[in-house]
Amino acid sequence: MTDEGLRQETNRQQAGEHVAAEGPPAESAFGLPISVGVEDAMRIAQRRDRLLAALTLTAGVGLVLATPFALKAGAEFFLPLTAALVIAVALVPVLEWLERRHVPSPLAAILCILVFLIAANIAIAAILVPATDFFRLLPTRLDRIQSNLAPLLDLYSSLEKYVNKTLRQVASTPIKQPATAGVAAPGSILELAATSAPAVIVQFLFGVLIVFFFLSGWTRMRRRTITGRTSFDGAMATARVIQDIVDDVSAYLGTITLINIVLGIVTGTMLWFIGMPYPAMWGGIVALLNYIPYFGPVIGAFLLALGGLMTFSDIWMAMLPPALMYGLHLVEANAITPFIVGHRLTISPLLILISLSFWGWVWGTSGALLAVPLLIILQTVLGAAGKPDIAGFLFEHGTLVQPKAGRNRRRGDPPEQQRETGG
């Protein structure tokens, strides 16, 4: 072996002894050798975080899309459950008032349920019984309705003839009248009651039991929820959210109920002065439909217009009841309710419309009645927990970070800046 070869062999042996003395290569926090490099480790970690974010986003989108269909398909379970929980939350202040008078929780819950059921039965009886008698006269009043609507019907007939004549001149084929689909009448009332009444009774009893158990265990449940927090700040935040939900829902439902009752009384009184039959029934209908923002008053005005056409022989007198009702509603909605409710329960009209459309599609009229209380609960929870930053999740450090940004970095940028730019 030459001197140069002996010198290289000696250097290799010395380097091996030095590495053996230092031990195995050190590893980074990600389980990778340092030789891999900090930049490569950060890139691998970012890819892993991006994959987890993509999976989370996919699962969240799937859950959001599937929830409405699940609620609609399971309406027989979810609708009475949700309605019972909203009613129970609204009755919590009454329960706490009774408990402060040393009334046991189960007895206080029973008293709350009895008061609610009595009030609901009185309201329903005051509306349904006269409405059944009044609208039973509809077939016998068709002649009066047609005579009142004769000018409008003549205008519509003339317009239709003009349109048909124009279309015949333009088109080469005759206009075909659309076929009307026949609707099969139900077999019998007894059969309908036999198939629907059991389900309604079961849902009613289920809702009553939910309200009872919720109210009877409310104090223990709230105490357990607060004391179960691991920190004092967490316990205070939980207590604050629970109290805000109860205060907001009960304040909204209580205030709106009082306003609607007064609106119904004033409307019924004015209808009584102009000679409208069953003014208490019409006042109850107006008060009930006023729980549905925007659409409820429109439906009430339509029903009053139909009732006016059935009652009065003059078209202008027949249109007076809906005009009076809608005028009172405009005053209530734009002056009285904002002044009484204040800014605490102010909700965006866009959110109200979205909530009405969503819950109305899911559960029909019952969903529309529950739309605003559910929106208040969701808004209170998000206000305490913080609104999710979806844009930041997607575009800043989430799934849609542009990987091309890393190619435009300067080689000397620190790892933190490289990670922020997508490297």
3-state secondary structure of 380: helix
Tokens of 354: 């979205």
Average pLDDT value for the chain: 75
Got the DSSP string for 238-306? HHHHHHHHHHHHHHHHHHHHHHHHHHHHHHHHHHHHTT-S-HHHHHHHHHHHTTSTTHHHHHHHHHHHH
Radius of gyration (Cα) for the chain, nearest Å? Answer: 35
pLDDT at residue 155, as a whole number:
55
Alpha carbon distance 151, 157 (integer Å) = 10
Comparing 24-28, 98-102, 296-300, 328-332, which segment has the lowest mean pLDDT? 24-28
- pLDDT band for position 163 (cuts 50, 70, 90): low
**Neighbour count for residue 192 (Cβ, 10 Å):** 11
- Please give the single-letter amino acid code of residue 36: V
State the residue for tokens 């607060």: 226
Enter the DSSP assignment of 33.
B
Query: How many CA atoms does the CB half-sphere of 105 hold within 13 Å?
Result: 12
Distance CA 216, CA 101 (A): 15
Cα of 138 vs its chain's centroid, Å? 36
Cα–Cα distance measured from residue 68 to residue 357, given in angstroms and rounded to the nearest whole number: 12
The answer, yes or no, to whether residue 410 has pLDDT greater than 50, is: no
Residue (of 292, 293, 265) closest to 281 by Cα position? 265
Give me the pLDDT at residue 270, please: 93
- The span from the CA of 141 to the CA of 136, in Å, is 10
Distance CA 12, CA 2 (A): 16
| Residue pointed to by tokens 């008032």 | 97
What are 27's strand-pairing partners?
33
How far lies 225's CA from each of 142, 217, 304, 377, 418, in Å? 60, 12, 49, 18, 43
What is the pLDDT at residue 266?
Answer: 93
Q: Label residue 127 by pLDDT band (50, 70, 90).
A: confident
pLDDT for 396: 61
What is 43-99 written as a DSSP string? HHHHHHHHHHHHHHHHHHHHHHHHHHHHHHHTHHHHHHHHHHHHHHHHHHHHHHHHH
The pLDDT value recorded for residue 323 is 92
Look at the alpha carbons of 353, 355, 361, 365 in this order and tell me if their dihedral is positive or negative.
negative
- pLDDT of 369 reads 87
Q: What is the mean pLDDT of residues 382-391?
A: 67
**CA–CA gap between residue 422 and residue 245 (Å, rounded):** 41
Residue linked to tokens 């046991």:
104
How confident is the model at residue 114, as a pLDDT?
93
* Neighbouring-strand partners of residue 33: 27
Report the pLDDT averaged over residues 301-328.
87
Residues 82, 87, 89, 93, Cα dihedral to 10°: 180
Whether residue 321 has pLDDT greater than 80: yes
pTM exceeds 0.75 for this model: no
Instruction: Provide mean pLDDT across the span 216-221.
Output: 86
Q: H or E element: which one contains 26? A: none
